[in-house]
Amino acid sequence: MSWLLILALACAIFTVLTVVLKAPRAGWEAIIAVLLLGLAGYAMQGRPGVDGAPHAAAPAGSGVGAYLVDQRQALAGKGVMSDPALIPADAFVRHGEYADAIGFLRKAVTQNPQNGEAWLAMGNALVAHGDGALSPSALYAFHQAQAAEPDAPGPAYFLGLAMAASGRLTEARGLWAGLLAKAPADAPWRADLTGKLKKLDQLMAMAKAAGRLH
């Protein structure tokens, strides 16, 4: 129900801006783009089941960086880091110090170009450092991660996440649908990906209705 309310709120905001405040038609595309970007962020990391009661300030390690590290480790299913360089790099990512993390990870992949986990961590750090933008260097890192570990779910999962946040919804859906199709029935991350795929489908339906997706 919370997701439906979010969609209704987005439609209401668009109506207010275009009908009540009479935003010029030339600016409608920009308004829709901003609303879709916000919905993409909610679709990827929103937690509608969490109560909205006030709570204490989150610790310094929380947020996007912590999510990227924790989710990458969960998808890898490893209790021990594959490379010691990931320990300081992950610490930097958790605190939002992405440039420093990238420096450590660059050394790791230079020493071992087949370190898929380090490539994946670098792709995530590059995206976060670029405020969600999927740069050519980040895309290269994700592809290297996939090449190093073809059966690992992490590269397709996080590349899809970055594509969705960048507005490349169709490509993101293709990646996630393919990953889900070949996922083992007992994969611990299957339910999470299924939920994200459903939210992405809803987001794509709204984008098509607004003429932003064909």
Residue 67 has pLDDT above 80, yes or no: yes
- Tokens (6 digits) for 11: 């439609």
Express each pLDDT in 134-188 by its tens digit: 999 999 999 999 999 999 999 999 999 999 888 888 999 999 999 999 999 999 8
Residue 96 has pLDDT above 80, yes or no: yes
* Residues of the domain holding 90: 64-166
Residue 37 has pLDDT above 50, yes or no: yes
C-alpha–C-alpha distance, residues 96 and 89, integer Å: 11
Q: Which long-range contacts (CB under 8 A, 24 or more apart) does 55-59 make?
A: none
Q: How many domains does the chain have?
A: 1
C-alpha–C-alpha distance, residues 42 and 44, integer Å: 5
Tell me what pLDDT residue 25 has: 53
Whether 206 maps to a domain, the answer reads no
Whether 212 maps to a domain, the answer reads no
Whether 40 maps to a domain, the answer reads no
Instruction: Name the most confidently modeled range: 45-49, 60-64, 68-72, 76-80.
Output: 68-72
Whether 10 maps to a domain, the answer reads no
What CATH number is attached to the domain comprising 75?
1.25.40.10
* Residue 36, number of CB atoms within 10 A of its CB: 21
Residue 57 has pLDDT above 80, yes or no: no
Whether 84 maps to a domain, the answer reads yes
Residue 22 has pLDDT above 80, yes or no: no
pTM of the model: 0.71
| Stretch (H or E) spanning 184 | none
- Phi/psi of residue 156, nearest 5 degrees: -65, -35
| Angle at alpha carbon of residue 58, lines to 123 and 78, rounded to 5° | 45
- Tokens (6 digits) for 139: 């895309």
Tell me what pLDDT residue 41 has: 56
- The pLDDT mean for the chain works out to 77
